[in-house]
Chains A and B, each alone.
Chain A
Amino acid sequence: SQQGEEDPQALSIQEGENATMNCSYKTSINNLQWYRQNSGRGLVHLILIRSNEREKHSGRLRVTLDTSKKSSSLLITASRAADTASYFCATAQEAGANSKLTFGKGITLSVRP
């Protein structure tokens, strides 16, 4: 079963604009991660935020986490055509390498040149 629900399901923006994607989840978590998947490829880890963190930055990425609302957002600033991909949030209920990830259905981002 899918844990997360991403919103919107699809997003189309112009190059240079910011893209904001939201994710909600159902159960308590240890951490939440965002992954990117290009068409026909595997998933690539983007950023991880722990349950005791509220905001984290990595390059053009900013992720927030609100555990009281069980929601997260991913902001990609100054988007590029190469950012076109599907984005998934994934939650881990435990810490460490033995924790399976529970993914949402994903958001399809299209960045127009």
Chain B
Amino acid sequence: GAGVSQSPRYKVAKRGQDVALRCDPISGHVSLFWYQQALGQGPEFLTYFQNEAQLDKSGLPSDRFFAERPEGSVSTLKIQRTQKEDSAVYLCASSFRTGWTASGRDRGNIQYFGAGTRLSVL
């Protein structure tokens, strides 16, 4: 089906405002990841879900960042009381569960990315 969809594409927030970023993964993908990409840098891991369970949130930079995936499909990344340093592109990626076949093994390692949400905090 369609690829990973993220909304909004662009978000401008005033410092102190709360924002919510949405990710629609590819249908049937079990795993979902959030990454933060600062200007001129590579993406950095924020958090990971397997179905609805958040199994790794070690990359979240502060307790102002919160992510959820309540029904194991759509995910929302929420940033409370935004700060200027939160300005970045937020990328969502999803991937298959690893398959048993030789060709399926690699599929489970590949992540499919959305176009991202560019957040600018003024």
Contact = CB atoms under 8 A, between A and B. Distances in A.
B110 to A, nearest CB: 5
Interface stretch (B12-20, B72-80, B92-100): B92-100
A43 B91 contact: yes
Given A42-B4, A42-B115, A43-B91, A97 B41 contact: no
A-B residue pairs, 8 tightest by C-beta:
A103-B42, A42-B113, A97-B31, A97-B108, A96-B98, A43-B113, A97-B95, A100-B45
Interface in A1-36: 1-2, 4, 30-31, 33, 35
Interface of A: 1-2, 4, 30-31, 33, 35, 40-45, 48, 88, 90, 92, 95-106
Interface string B31-63: 101010000111111001010000110010000
Interface of B: 4, 30-31, 33, 35, 40-45, 48, 50, 55-56, 59, 91, 93, 95-98, 105-106, 108-116
A104 B115 contact: no
A49 to B, nearest CB: 10
A31 B109 contact: yes
B115 A41 contact: yes
B109 A33 contact: yes
Given A2-B42, A98-B31, A48 B113 contact: no
B109 A100 contact: no
A21 B76 CA distance: 35
A100 B54 CA distance: 13
A24 to B, nearest CB: 13
Tell which of A4, A100, A105 has the most Cβ of chain B within 10 Å: A100
A53 to B, nearest CB: 11
